[in-house]
A and B are shown apart, each in its own frame.
Chain A
Amino acid sequence: MDIQQLAARLRSEIGEANVLTDRAQLRTYECDGLAVHKVMPAIVTLPATTEHVQAVVRACVETNVPYVARGSGTGLSGGALPHADGVLIVTSKLRSILELDADNERAVLQPGVVNLDITRAAAPYGYYFAPDPSSQQICSIGGNVAENSGGAHCLKYGFTTNHVTGVQLVSPTGELVPLGGKAPDPPGYDLLGAFVGSEGTLGIATEVTVRLMRAPESVRTLLAAFASTDDAGAAVSSIIGAGVIPAAIEMMDALAIEAAEAAVQCNYPQGAGAVLIVELDGPASEVEAQFEQVEQHCAAARAAEIRIAADDAERALFWKGRKSAFAAVGRISPDYIVQDGVIPRTALPQVLRRMGELAAKHGIRVANVFHAGDGNLHPLVLFDDAVTGEAERAEELSGAILDLCIEYGGSITGEHGVGMDKAKHMPRMYTDDDLDTMQLLRCAFDPDHLSNPGKIFPTPRLCGEVPGRHKGAHPLQEQGLAEVF
């Protein structure tokens, strides 16, 4: 079946208005948040119901056409990059909060529901949804589930995976499968745990059940300025060493502060080599006692200035600089790469020093913004595409930073995902056997490699003989895209 025939079939099954093939309309969907990679999909579908999603997947399975799911398209690893000969399944019409069950501390959501809207809906009951990626005003819960999104507050509260108790998914073989639900500890393998963070390769979530958290009684936030990232890092170490787990500890270096200041006038202390934002939340009596400790640790680490947010407005201003940091570097550099690596937190001073050396060697500036509590770095590699060779050097430096993270026992991604962007780095972190084993899970879910192919794994694995399938060579093998293990 060619693409035109498939489009016609999809139009008849999910409605004329929900299928796009016009090039001008397709162009809207050619990239996600990582705009450096662009691929125009053959067909874009906008399913309005779970049945629509299932119909699209079934049509793809029957015609052996790959498909990619997309939420709000804010991902930073190219996880929702379309397939040129495939179907893009966009969840933007699946935006209903199906149930807000405050009694059971759960919400049941369609995949296109925007992250922040969950908290908005839960707030009147005194609850909120903890995972808070910086893009929370637009990113969707389906995308959060696919990427296992984090955020500034995951040091204390964990990631999306710790807050999802159930999904209903359309599997890559077209079945509607419920996993988990509202109750904890469903028996059997924790397929839900494997599905969250599988970057769209194990199916498409059509319903997501999340845990709602009781809003804390007290939230206190301070901003401390230091002469250097070393001093700020020492403050973080002594806070954690004292047994305090803040809701968030965020750090920005001088260049990141400069950018944020230029973009949003957050009025951070002038001339600081680093700023820390530390937020504590919980029962008032507990927070009071620990907040004093945090102030003392910052002072002992030679903080030049400590500001304490007097109210929600001032707290929002502290966070504004941090949350706008990625976009803000656009003010000080024409182009930039957002990197996402993780190191053991205690290696921070050495890694920052070596990163500085690498940056100098490449003649490229790096601004640093990071979740200091859990060692999740977001180096912003600044370059000018108009200068010959700079983009290549920036890309090289960006890769070298990931090598540095691996050398110190860390990870190539803490929250942005592997996507297509980092698939090539996976063999540096895992052995062939590790990657081969992971792909056995994929084979269980997606024997034909149709669900978001080309993401996460550098080399697709063939899934072995399944009776009644695959006559002759596997299509991937024929195209020279896969080798037989």
Chain B
Amino acid sequence: MTGAAVLDDLGKVVDDRVRPAGDEDAIEGVRPSYCATPSSTEETAELLRVAAQHSLHVVARGAGTKQHWGKPPLRVDLVVDLTGVAGVVEHAAGDLITIVRAGTAVTDLQATLAENDQQLALDARFAAATVGGTVATNTSGPRRVLYGTLRDLLIGITFVRADGVVAKAGGRVVKNVAGYDFAKLLTGSYGTLGVITEVALRCHPLPRTRRVASIEVPDGEVAADLARRVLCSQIVPSAVEVTQPATGPASVGVLLEGVEAGVGARAEVARELLGVTSQIGDLPGSFDSYPFGPGDVGLKISTTLSGVGPVLKSARGVGDRHGVPVSVGGSAAGVLYAGMPADSDPAVVERVLAELRAIAGAYDGTVVVLTAPAATRRALDMWGPIRGLDLMRRLKDQLDPEHRLSPGRFVGGI
């Protein structure tokens, strides 16, 4: 079968919304042959059936903001661009739920929900990111302290299997225990189990008022102690962020949300807990950005609450020892992000990673390399050790026996 014939078959599904792939479609140097833009779940399913007939390896793409996350695919023939499967299908404000197509930008969804004073209680750190891409990579931010993450917000999912079969799980009501929770399996699966086309999400009321109490302190350990004090209080913060730049003082930021009368009183308690030099002010930078930029090395570190201080201390120490600036910021609830500059020596990054994995591991945690320059990636075990890997492989074999969906991107070479 020639390339022209494959293109022809894909064109029968999406007309002129298929084209030979260009340089801009390459994923970390791996170049696909075709790029198709379906407009619905049904078209996506038909495309995947054609892909199955031609044994094409498929990568789903939203806005492409995190295509450099995870490992590069071993091979890709067809990129399915989901930005055509877009739009908010429904916002049932009285039921506190929304149904939205995968290609919708998260910011567009938020704007629609805000018309009825509601929100998706998830921090979006990539302005253009789509809902589907956000689910597939399971990104979250500071407000996880109060609202949790996508696994707590996603109540239903529609996706297309590798063989082109459309499957749904969950539904449109928040409370529902009928059947296996595939929405959770697809969350953070990096496109390796299916192509997400539509999701149902739980909404929350927009808070009337927000206030941030923050303080600058000498180092990360002090910051972690203060943050713990706030977390264990009864003021119910929406976020407790700790920030430790590569050099200089660290800081703690506490976000409080609610009604005016309540937030004022709670912010005062937060100030008492943080100390006399604390201030009421605006959201600090760490609330909407990671401590790494495009091209940098970006890590995600998880730990128990009591590991936050030791991880921060270790990050500063290991950076100083190896002469590489390590910036850390994240939630005192146990999810931190760390960044190192793009031009860091891969061998040094590897040593820093090993030390951070050792300290996080001592607190039941893990370190994942979210992104890194190509040369650094090759030197690293990006995912680290994984609990339950054998069962994960068996699941992949069941859903995608030919390993044609985003092959090699995920844990254990899945």
Contact = CB atoms under 8 A, between A and B. Distances in A.
A181 interface: yes
Nearest to B174: A374
B71 interface: no
Contacts, number: 266
B232 A186 contact: no
> Most chain-A Cβ atoms within 10 A of its Cβ — which of B93, B138, B151, B161?
B151
Interface string A334-361: 0000000011111000000000000000
B114 interface: no
Nearest to B411: A188
A479 to B, nearest CB: 23
A416 B175 CA distance: 11
B365 A183 contact: yes
Interface string B385-412: 0111111101101110000000000111
B177 A197 contact: yes
Contacts of B166: 433
A15 interface: no
Contact of A440 (B148, B365, B391, B399): B399
Contacts of A177: 387-388, 390-391
Nearest to A376: B175
A416 to B, nearest CB: 8
B177 A374 contact: no
A182 B308 CA distance: 13
Interface stretch (A90-98, A223-231, A251-259, A424-432): A424-432
A190 to B, nearest CB: 4
B189 A189 contact: yes
Interface string A412-425: 11111110001000
B379 interface: no
A106 B395 contact: no
B346 to A, nearest CB: 21
Contact of B305 (A105, A374, A375, A429): A105
Given A106-B304, A186-B366, A443-B398, A371 B175 contact: yes
**10 tightest Cβ-Cβ pairs between the two chains A and B:** A193-B184, A286-B262, A243-B205, A437-B167, A285-B265, A217-B234, A411-B176, A346-B94, A444-B394, A440-B398
18 contacts: A162-B148, A179-B388, A182-B364, A185-B140, A189-B188, A189-B395, A191-B392, A197-B177, A290-B262, A342-B175, A345-B94, A374-B174, A411-B175, A411-B178, A437-B169, A437-B182, A438-B169, A445-B391
A158 B411 contact: no
B187 interface: yes
Contacts of B181: 148, 161, 193-194, 196-197
Given A104-B305, A376-B175, A444-B394, A438 B180 contact: yes
Contact of B262 (A187, A285, A376): A285
> Most chain-B Cβ atoms within 10 A of its Cβ — which of A189, A283, A422?
A189
